[in-house]
Structure 1
């Protein structure tokens, strides 16, 4: 999937967008071509954008269970590996 680089009105880089979204922004007049190679568009107005750090979540506990004859026989939690 090809992405288009995008800059805000202050020339700060934003997350790349799909070609179709970039085409929509260009046709609506909300952006203009900044550079042809690599193809980059720049927004004419400043828009707020959700930062990727705000979208994530972490799991703290993972549970495993075993079923035998339609009866749950084991349920034991394991802590997540890595950052504890």
Structure 2
């Protein structure tokens, strides 16, 4: 998964709490709640709070090794998450 470095203009943080967060995965139409996206990506419920969510200014940038949000997708840097 790759990110566009120029779009990462704020401080980055990592959270493991998906409650209430939404994202728009690159290559998909529309945004969805992370709960629904985890279900679609078949992430077991016990693993959802163990998957890192990369955030910038309260906005989801990427989720673990699942996807990068369409607004941050690019080819400048790579996101790697190894369990």
TM-score by length of 2: 0.27
TM-score by length of 1: 0.27
Query: Whose Rg is larger?
Result: 1
Q: Please state which structure has a larger fraction of its residues in strand.
A: 1
Structure of greater relative contact order (alpha carbons < 8 Å, 6+ residues apart): 2
